[in-house]
Structure 1
Amino acid sequence: MPKITAPLLESKLRHLPLLHRGKVRDLYAVDDDRLLIVTTDRISAFDVILPTAIAGKGRVLTAISRFWFDRTRNIVPNHLTDDQSLADIIRDRDERALLEGRSLIVKRLKALPVEAVVRGYLIGTGYKDYVATGAVCGITLPKGLPLAARLPEPIFTPATKAAVGDHDENIDFDTTVSLLGRPLAEQVRDTAIKLYQEAAKYALERGIIIADTKFEFGLDDQGTLHLIDEALTPDSSRFWPVDQYKTGISPPSFDKQFVRDWLETLDWDKKTPGPQIPADIVEQTRSRYLEAYRLLTGHHDLEQPNGPTENSSNPLALK
């Protein structure tokens, strides 16, 4: 995998049609059956894309996603396809070098209009809802839980998928049923919780608490559910160091919560345009993402392949 160089804010491929630019990922059409996902170094917070990129962030996210896609395929299939390489679809060497380590060739699937959020701890908007109502997305919780408390069981708290610049909206399970139908809604809920439970157990043994995470799913032509987009990354999850965890505070993190916390100190209305991120915040954010990668995979840099290390004390494949 290439070494971290200048940040990539936007990909501009000459020979593939651009279908969509998201908050972080650029999506290109390969053919009728496949897509190319390019993970840039953009960072968003409060649903606003910030003007400063985090060099190497896209490669870290891609490496972590590959790690989890490989280790959760026994739970649910995912959208990765192995029948083409980057060299097969990107002939230009300079473009290919830009994409190495930050791109995925995936199957075209029908994305579901719901973000499958699973919470194992009470934090963020979940805590705000709990303080106001005693519940999160319609799920009543025990009284008196402090900020960052571990929940008795992980809960499924879905959200609608908003367009870039808009805010995702938390919904209850009945609304999810109205969007997907009950059988599919239950399958998404049960699969998301299973993914979270297995990943959280593994990560805990590596020194990371996965407080919550967001999954996205899609269907193939046969109606088979697939895990898509990204998986258990510092962008889609809250990662807390085990040795610094305590309740009553927002714990230190290995994810973009660090940037959110910095933004909260500013006089900013959380609307576009976002503020420039100072160099020290950029570097600390990048270091936290790399530390999450190191702890989860057992690798110390992005040059190493995504596989188990010889001295790993835990089999990486999730059963």
Structure 2
Amino acid sequence: MTTTPAAPAYDLPGWKHAYAGKVREIYIPEAAADFASADKMLMVATDRISAYDFILDTPIPDKGKVLTGLSLWWFDQLADVVGNHVLSTDVPSAVTGRAIICKPLHMFPVECVARGYLTGSGLADYTTSGMVCGNALPAGLGEADRLTPAIFTPAFKAELGDHDENITFDKTVDLVGAEDAEALRDLTLRLYTRAEEIARERGIVLADTKFEFGRDASGQIVLGDEVLTPDSSRFWDAADYAPGKVQASFDKQFVRDWLTGPDSSWDRNSELPPPALPEQIVARTRARYVEAFERLTGTTFPA
């Protein structure tokens, strides 16, 4: 069970805390009674990191700024495909660089996942059934094989602390209706195709990613939450990519490897929380996030 932060990460004048997730916190204007009456929200990316359904006690410095900066960059790259929820980056000084002011959205209860390579839970499903979320795939595929074309593999959003459930397109239709399901699938694959090309030009393989969509006040479907970050995507170094083996990712791989390795002495199957991360693991993880930001955007990370 994922632990939930006990208290808001920031005390922000003019804003009141409304929600805490694994990494992000949502604030609404003090004058708003609740989400429903708020005309804008402040979304803050903290430096928290989660692994194996636990929010770790050790933060990764600047992680929230990487996630926010990279999301904003991608929103700009993809603006001609679909609109997004960003209203402003003029945020309180305490959260500069790690927060945006955004539109409240009526979110779809589906995480929209695109897979261009076979790995992770997709590979596990394929090995068992020859399919991934109802998508029948050719026989003989293996770890990190490319899928052409990419496939839409949605997931039903679970409550905080529970696992998201991979679902079929037909189940998506049941949840949101045929018209919206088709629109979400189309947008997801168009966004993935565009982002995969952009990333490849920068020497990065975008293996898979998830998008979250909602309707704004005008009824338009727009892109929300974070987009194409190391937390929501699987990025690999194109120079090292080779099918048939597990690829090194630009994410919290160092954290996962240390937690399950002999040095942590932590039993993943126990209900005990993971131990504090050592400084070298924190530093290597931060460096990996920053490297993803710099290679994709072509700019120096503003530490």
Shared fold by TM > 0.5? yes
2:254 and 2:151 map into 1 onto residues whose CA distance is 24
1:67 is matched with which residue?
73
Q: Give the deviation of 1:166 after TM superposition.
A: 1.2
**Structure 1 SS opposite 2:184:** helix
1:299 is matched with which residue?
299
Instruction: Answer with 41-50 or 70-79: which moved more.
Output: 41-50
**Structure 1 SS opposite 2:296:** helix
Q: Is the 8 A contact 2:259 2:274 kept in 1?
A: no
**Structure 2 SS opposite 1:188:** helix
Which consecutive residues of structure 2, in runs of 5 or more, have no partner in the other structure?
A: 1-7, 33-37
Instruction: Answer with 71-80 or 274-283: which moved more.
Output: 274-283
Q: Is the 8 A contact 1:46 1:270 kept in 2?
A: no
The one-letter code sitting in structure 2 at the alignment partner of 1:238 is: R
1:40 and 1:52 map into 2 onto residues whose CA distance is 12
2:49 is matched with which residue?
43
- Indicate which of 126, 130, 135 corresponds to 1:134: 130
**Structure 1 SS opposite 2:126:** helix
Q: Give the deviation of 1:271 after TM superposition.
A: 5.0
- Indicate which of 111, 118, 127 corresponds to 2:114: 118
Q: Is the 8 A contact 1:122 1:149 kept in 2?
A: yes
- Indicate which of 89, 102, 123 corresponds to 2:98: 102
> In 2 relative to 1, CA 279–52 (structure 1 residues): closer, same or farther, beyond 3 Å?
same
Correspondences of 1:1-319 after superposition (within 5 Å): 10-13=9-12, 15-30=14-29, 31=32, 32-82=38-88, 85-86=90-91, 90=92, 96=93, 98-265=94-261, 267-269=267-269, 273-302=273-302
1:232 and 1:259 map into 2 onto residues whose CA distance is 20
Could you list the structure 1 runs, at least 4 aligned residues long, displaced by more than 4 angstroms after superposition. none
**Deviation digits for residues 110-131 of structure 1 (CA, Å, limit 9, x no counterpart):** 1111100111111111111111
Aligned length: 285
2:3 is matched with which residue?
none
Q: Give the deviation of 1:267 after TM superposition.
A: 2.7
**Structure 1 SS opposite 2:68:** helix
Q: Give the deviation of 1:46 after TM superposition.
A: 3.0
2:5 is matched with which residue?
none
2:270 and 2:103 map into 1 onto residues whose CA distance is 35
The one-letter code sitting in structure 1 at the alignment partner of 2:76 is: D
> In 2 relative to 1, CA 271–144 (structure 1 residues): closer, same or farther, beyond 3 Å?
farther
**Deviation digits for residues 129-188 of structure 1 (CA, Å, limit 9, x no counterpart):** 111111111111111111011112111111111222111111111111111101001101
2:232 and 2:284 map into 1 onto residues whose CA distance is 18
**Structure 2 SS opposite 1:152:** strand
> In 2 relative to 1, CA 264–152 (structure 1 residues): closer, same or farther, beyond 3 Å?
farther
Q: Is the 8 A contact 1:36 1:103 kept in 2?
A: yes
Instruction: Answer with 115-124 or 243-252: which moved more.
Output: 243-252
**Structure 2 SS opposite 1:65:** helix
2:4 is matched with which residue?
none
Q: Give the deviation of 1:218 after TM superposition.
A: 0.6
The one-letter code sitting in structure 2 at the alignment partner of 1:242 is: A
1:180 and 1:264 map into 2 onto residues whose CA distance is 38
Q: Is the 8 A contact 2:90 2:100 kept in 1?
A: no
Question: Taking CA–CA contacts closer than 8 Å with sequence separation of 6 or more, which of the two structures ends up with the larger relative contact order?
Answer: 1
**Structure 1 SS opposite 2:15:** coil
1:174 and 1:257 map into 2 onto residues whose CA distance is 33
Alpha-carbon RMSD across the aligned residues, in angstroms, is: 1.7
**Structure 1 SS opposite 2:182:** helix
